[in-house]
Amino acid sequence: MENFVLVGKAKTVFRLIELKAKYEEAAKANKKQDKKKRK
């Protein structure tokens, strides 16, 4: 049972890391677009 809980937590943490990475990539893309619009 403990093993199952650990696996569940690991998946949740991994999902959070993945979402954070996607959010950071989107933020970088948005910054690039802003620079193009200003010129």
Instruction: Please state, as a whole number, how many other Cβ atoms lie within 10 Å of the Cβ of residue 18.
Output: 10
Question: Which residue in the block uniquely carries the two structure tokens 């990475």?
Answer: 21
pLDDT digits over 12-27, tens only? 999 999 999 999 999 9
Q: Looking at residue 38, what is its pLDDT? A: 67
Above 80 in pLDDT, residue 32?
Answer: yes
Rounded CA separation 21/18 (Å): 5
How many domains are contained in the chain?
Answer: 1
Quote the domain boundaries for residue 31: 1-39
pLDDT bracket for residue 39 (50, 70, 90): low
